[in-house]
A and B are shown apart, each in its own frame.
Chain A
Amino acid sequence: MILFFLTSGLFLGWSLGANDASHIFGSAVGSKMVTFRKAAIIASVFFILGAVIQGSGTSHTLGKLGAVNAIGGSFTLALAAAITIYMMTKFALPISTTQAIVGAIIGWNYFTGNHTDSSTLEKIVISWIAGPIIGAVFAILLYILVKRFKKSTKIHLIRFESYIKTGLIVVGAFGAYSLGANNIANVMGVFVPAFHLKDLNLWIFALNSSQQLFLLGGLAVASGIITYSWKVMETIGNNILELSSEAALVVVLAQSLVLFIFSSTGLSNLIIKTGLPPIPMVPVSSSQVIVGCILGIGLYKGARNINFRILGEIGLAWIISPVASGLLTFFLLFFMKNIFGINVGSKIIESAGASDQASNLAMYGQSDVSGIIKYLLLGLLIFGTIGIVFYALLENKKSREMQRSEEKFWKNMK
């Protein structure tokens, strides 16, 4: 039953993979510098790493916005957000998972009569505005830097492109890691307060309850990236602005930096030490950041090549997604509670809330989800190793055949 409740979260993760995660390599794949296959593998692996290692910071912020205290509620929220994202993705609009989930949480708050913490909401909305602006500024600065480097060094175009290509892979990995750290809260954040799993000992390290949820979410995101992100990658890469290879690198780097800034507790602590206010740990919308970055470069180039119609469509999706998700959540919660009789959560009373939640946690503490995750990981490891070996052999065979055909051609020519 617990696994059934998790399915909506996994569906949401899949949607995030198909939509938001594609932004990391969208410009690289769109500009044809990195193949989709390579991009999908790197994005999947590093997203999972980022989610498991550094994903807890932003999930606390979402928890403050609305601590969903029943697993039925978490299920419905995630389902509503996922349906919203799926519908938007169908129209190839790079909408934001963050906005969908925030809309859903607010919908849950309204339904259960809980108060929406306005200061947290304010912090999140400000980050939505700040994210693309910071992204645009970073993109312009980095773009100027790259252009100046290229001009001053008189580096050979082919060599420069090979550096860019390598850079895209490295920066893309960093971006996927940052996205995992920043956005996993959107997928699994609503399940964290309602779930309590046993610690999973993996011999060299152990995963706590939220990390296990993040791992599951990460795997769902990876499946979304591999199966459905191609279409959105094409939209990001080509439709807003035709990107050169160096612009593609700059866009991914600027976006990764923004996501990293909003999810790194270490960096925030460092800033506090210098006497500055802390950086809010907020799940930033990667869609908005990437559009900000691309727009920044477009503005620097003189705004000639920007496709403003696409930008308008994306802007519209930004408004539609939280509203649609909130409304859908409200109606779904109504049906879940009144027709199926599922507990979707209740009003949190400060003193009683803690004990209620404790009983909920105890209820799921005995679950065997941890065991399933363990076998899942083992299976992935085995299939992954077989896959890598098979791929290496196939590539080797292909290159040998190519070489042989080339030799044959020149032999016949003589």
Chain B
Amino acid sequence: MPVFTRTTKNLIIKIDEFFDDIDLGLLVFREGIKAYLDKDTDAFNRHLQKVDNLENNADRLQREIENEMITHSILPQHRSEVSTLIDELDEIIDALKSSLNEINIELPEIPSSLNKNLISLTETSINAAEELIPAARAYFKAPYTVREKLLKVYYFESETDKLSLSIKKIIFQETNEIDLAHKAHLRYIIHHIENISDLAQKAADLLSGMAIKIVM
């Protein structure tokens, strides 16, 4: 009988560990961007390596969680939604890894006048994703509180959009010392950072529906 096996306990630990990885990945990404803007290559590479490890671990956990849910017939009614949620969260850490990798490969030249704006954009975008993690944890323990926790995700996502627009405006309308190709490259990097909050919003939409369903 399920109550006498360790499967449940192991699965709960794995899900918690998966959330920890995403949370930690967001933290490391933020530090990675700061290190890049500070031109601290060693710290940037260290953070990139750390995100890479976290992403690999999250992938492994995602696979194990989905396998265990299917083989032990756990959460049959919510399984597909939980799997989709885990997929969405995994996409966030995938985006963190690919963004840092692209910065590492393309080495964009960021004018120092934009440093503050970019840090602010990163902070806000990462905040949106960070607020998603307690909401996702709450889905399993206190689904009644999920929707109130998600409010912050939506707030930070909309702030990220505003910040991104204003930075793009600064780049294309106020920064005359760089050429158009350089501007387009910077826009591309901004898209990458902004994308994290968009992915968080996508997961938040899913989580919101899941919470309603489970509370009903």
Contacts and interface: CB of A to CB of B under 8 A. Distances in A.
A244 B139 contact: no
B66 to A, nearest CB: 12
A410 B75 CA distance: 25
B60 A166 contact: no
Contacts of A402: 71
Interface range on chain A (Cβ under 8 Å from partner) = 20 to 34
Interface string B1-22: 1111001100110010000000
B78 interface: yes
Given A162-B2, A166-B2, A406-B67, A31 B142 contact: no
A81 interface: no
A158 B15 contact: yes
Contacts of A162: 2-3, 7-8, 74
Contacts of A151: 144
A165 interface: yes
Q: Is the interface of B mostly helix, strand, loop or mixed?
A: helix
Interface string B134-145: 000001111110
B75 A158 contact: yes
B216 A301 contact: yes
B73 A32 contact: yes
Contact of B75 (A157, A163, A169): A157
Interface in A151-189: 151, 154-159, 161-163, 165-166, 169
Contact of B78 (A157, A165, A301): A157
Contacts of B1: 165-166, 169
Contact of B140 (A158, A244, A406): A158
Given A157-B139, A166-B1, A166-B3, A35 B73 contact: yes
Given A154-B142, A157-B141, A163 B78 contact: no
B178 interface: no
A124 interface: no
B216 A161 contact: no
B142 A165 contact: no
Nearest to A304: B216
Contacts of B144: 151
A44 interface: no
A316 B11 CA distance: 47
Contacts of B141: 154-157
B3 A157 contact: no
A166 B71 CA distance: 17
A386 to B, nearest CB: 23
A162 B6 CA distance: 11
B214 to A, nearest CB: 7
Nearest to B3: A166
Given A154-B142, A402-B71, A159 B76 contact: no
B112 interface: no
Nearest to A161: B75
Interface of A: 31-33, 35, 151, 154-159, 161-163, 165-166, 169, 244-245, 301, 402, 406, 410
In order of increasing CB-CB distance, the 3 nearest A-B pairs are A32-B76, A166-B3, A162-B2
17 contacts: A32-B76, A35-B73, A155-B141, A156-B12, A157-B75, A157-B139, A158-B15, A158-B75, A162-B2, A162-B3, A163-B3, A165-B2, A165-B3, A166-B4, A169-B1, A245-B76, A406-B67
